Amino acid sequence: MSLGQALREAARRVSSRRGLVAAMAIAQLLFAWIAIRPAAAAAAVLLDDRPGAARLLAGDDGLLGELLGDQRTLAVAGAAGAQVALALSGLLAWLFAGALVILFVGRDDEREAAGAAGVVAAMARAARRSIAIGIAGLAFRLVPLVAAVGLGVAIFADPLGGFDASVAAAVALTVGIGLLWALLTVALDGARALALTRPPEPGAGPPRLARALLGGLGLTFRRRPLAALGIAAISTIATLLFGALDLGLGHLTDGAELLHLAAMLAVELARAFTAAALVVATGLVAVDRRAQGAPATHVSS
């Protein structure tokens, strides 16, 4: 199956479960909203009766510095909220990824019934293996993180002829690290597809997980490197695009709560759809028998 076929097929299948995409998007919005609450509540006591709040909003960073210098708990609460959101979002992303594989990549006879109950059942079925792959994948994630920090320090410790060159290098580094991060995501999604769609083997526990991880890495870097690179590139571009939309639209609409919510929901829906389609496309490529050296038999459309 070519990458184009896989992407089209994935988009078609994911489109059939709009509720699932909406749930993914709303979950992200909820996580972000909840994560901000403790800091926002504390800030209300400090800011709501001060004219300085409007100046802070207008970009007076002196007031921001004074506020954070005096009220360090604000920053701590914000950071803690972000960490919790990140952890919960990551865990839910693993569960959703498992469900997506079960629902859209597995054999026809394994697919769960439609509806929310079917999604929850698929998440439950996939949970153990999907989370195990996610946790194992954290070790792989360290590679781009360490590379990003190391190269970032190197670039700015030795500016490459001034700001322009350094910024260009930093942008290239960001894109490169982002691409590596996305390639690892492809590998882990591929591993997840292999782990969840192959029939269980008697006595196979951790070794099966290891085989799936190796299979995912093999898919990404050996068997279908171009397809993996294509998916990773789409993922990187989508990350940059949706990130820019989050920040840009978020800034433009922050004066009107409903409009802001609508804008953020639209971005999150698009992001969730893209993320789901890429997980499914990766799965389809991973379980494609021809890619594994056998005729394709179980991937049906």
The smaller minimum CB distance to other proteins, of residues 27 and 121, is found at 27
The smaller minimum CB distance to other proteins, of residues 74 and 299, is found at 74
The smaller minimum CB distance to other proteins, of residues 79 and 204, is found at 79
> At its nearest, how many Å lie between other proteins and the CB of residue 39?
8
The number of residues making up the chain comes to 301
Say what the alpha-carbon torsion angle 44, 45, 47, 48 is, to the nearest 10 degrees. Answer: 70
- Helix (H) or strand (E) run with residue 287 in it: helix 257-287
> At its nearest, how many Å lie between other proteins and the CB of residue 98?
14
The smaller minimum CB distance to other proteins, of residues 163 and 225, is found at 163
The sign of the torsion formed by the CA atoms of 137, 143, 144, 148 equals positive
The smaller minimum CB distance to other proteins, of residues 62 and 205, is found at 62
> At its nearest, how many Å lie between other proteins and the CB of residue 166?
4
Structure-block tokens of residue 121: 């059942």
Measured CA to CA, the distance from residue 266 to residue 269 in angstroms comes to 5
Classify residue 97 as exposed, middle or buried by CB count within 10 Å of its CB (0-12, 13-18, 19+): buried
The smaller minimum CB distance to other proteins, of residues 177 and 195, is found at 177
Q: Are 158 and 133 in contact (CB under 8 A)?
A: no
* Residues near 71 by beta carbon (within 8 Å), at least 6 away in sequence: 42, 46
Structure-block tokens of residue 209: 């997980």
CA distances, 124 to each of 118, 127, 176, 226 (Å):
10, 5, 35, 33
> At its nearest, how many Å lie between other proteins and the CB of residue 273?
11
> At its nearest, how many Å lie between other proteins and the CB of residue 75?
11
> At its nearest, how many Å lie between other proteins and the CB of residue 289?
28
Q: Are 19 and 116 in contact (CB under 8 A)?
A: yes
> At its nearest, how many Å lie between other proteins and the CB of residue 211?
26
Classify residue 229 as exposed, middle or buried by CB count within 10 Å of its CB (0-12, 13-18, 19+): middle
- Alpha helices by DSSP H, 71-115: 72-104
The smaller minimum CB distance to other proteins, of residues 5 and 89, is found at 89
